[in-house]
Amino acid sequence: MISISKGSGAAPVRHFLFQGSGKGYFLVWLVNILLTLVTLGLYLPWALVRARRYFYQNTELNGQRFSYHATGRSIFVGWLCLLALYAVFLINIIYHNMTLQLCMFALFVIFLPWLITQGLRYQMLMTEINGVRFNFYASPLRAWWVMMGCPLVIAGVSALIFVFFLRSAATSISYNAIFITLGIGTLVLLLGIAFMQGVYAAQWFGMLVNNLQYGKLKFSADLSIKKCVTIIVLSMLLFVPFIALAMYIVIPAMFMISQYAFLAAGDPERMAMLIAPLYGKLIFSYVVYIVGAVICYIFAFVKMRNYIYGQMSLEGDIGFSSTVTVGRVFWISVTNMLVCLVTLFLAWPWAKVRFTRYLLENTHVHGYLDALTLENHDVQPAKDPANLLARGLSFFPAAF
């Protein structure tokens, strides 16, 4: 334990510890894979529960470890319900029953956010530390607006603007005009997506934290939409040079391919010979795009995580902070992926443990945990059909 200053005075600061190992998780992971293959996928819910339980039981805070009480059977029943609904939807497609298809799609759009929040609630109710369980409840209307309404509105406006620039590019006759128009349109689209993601992040994590409880103690966080949008916009701006370079390589190549198609006159062998020198450029442009996307995502993940944890608090003068860095996350992510590729993903358990340990050891809790008055709530998981269905979505990510 260390003590640093946060706010007006000094308070004890503890960080999470992960006591598991790559070897220990490898055994769990290997058994999960084998049993899932042997049972043709039927064991997957139990495999997911066992994996999550391993990480929870090896996560320690202030000398206490978390526990996870969900069962594979409960998840399996939820998946059966989802599978039955999907089968009904496919039958309607086969028999061209458009009315029922539209009705089911509308019900999906309306009720999916509620099902996700109920799945999150089940996750929290199954999570415990110090003999006290967590809880989560969000307003259905609030959940729908955060997960469906607001993103759809922003995405629709962004798409309309991009289509406008796309049509303008289609009517241009010069290469420079097409490149500039597409570049501006792509930039506008990226900024629109960034704005949508920033608003969504602020509302989603605000809803998640402000409706979360530990026993009868409530969490809270005052998240600024402006700050979240700024983080996502900056990450997108990091992406822009990579996209510009990729387009600079791809667009001339596309023009050359169209000319080669005319020269080949429908001869596939001749066409393949003509465009062979372009394969390297196209592959390189794809690599540039992927690298840019990874850097963009990692920057947004790190900055958003540090900001959100810095704004979180728990009743009883408990605060939180995150000290992960972009450089370290990038290094761990890239080396993990390389090791997984070299080992044909046999090193995946080691990579997951390595990344989890880094995140936990850089997640801090500020305050006097021993002075908290802990009292468990009496909420139990609902067992009605809708909530059983929601348990099939209980692996929607809740942590960050």
Greater model confidence, 324 or 171: 324
pLDDT single digits (tens) 14-29:
999 999 999 999 999 9
Backbone angles phi, psi at 11, to 5 degrees: -145, 150
Single-letter amino acid code for the residue at 358 = Y
Q: Which of 98-107, 289-298, 385-394 has the highest mean pLDDT?
A: 289-298
Which residues are bridge partners to 318 per DSSP? 314
Give the pTM.
0.85
pLDDT of residue 1: 42
* Range picked from 286-295, 305-314, 376-385 for highest mean pLDDT: 305-314
Pairing of strands 217-221, 312-314: antiparallel
> Tell me: the pLDDT tens digits for 53-110?
999 999 999 999 999 999 999 899 888 888 888 888 888 888 778 888 888 888 888 8
Distance CA 183, CA 188 (A): 9
With bands split at pLDDT 50, 70 and 90, how would you rate the model's confidence at 392? confident
CA-to-CA separations, 95 to 81, 89, 107, 115, in angstroms, rounded: 22, 10, 20, 28
pLDDT of 397 reads 62
For 207-241, write each residue's pLDDT tens digit.
Answer: 999 999 999 999 999 999 999 999 998 998 898 89
Taking the C-alpha atoms of residue 377 and residue 164, their distance in angstroms, rounded to an integer, is 54
Alpha-carbon torsion 369, 136, 41, 344, what sign?
A: negative
Helices (runs of H) and strands (runs of E) counted in the chain: 13, 13
Distances (CA, A) of 11 to 8, 138, 311, 359: 10, 31, 16, 22
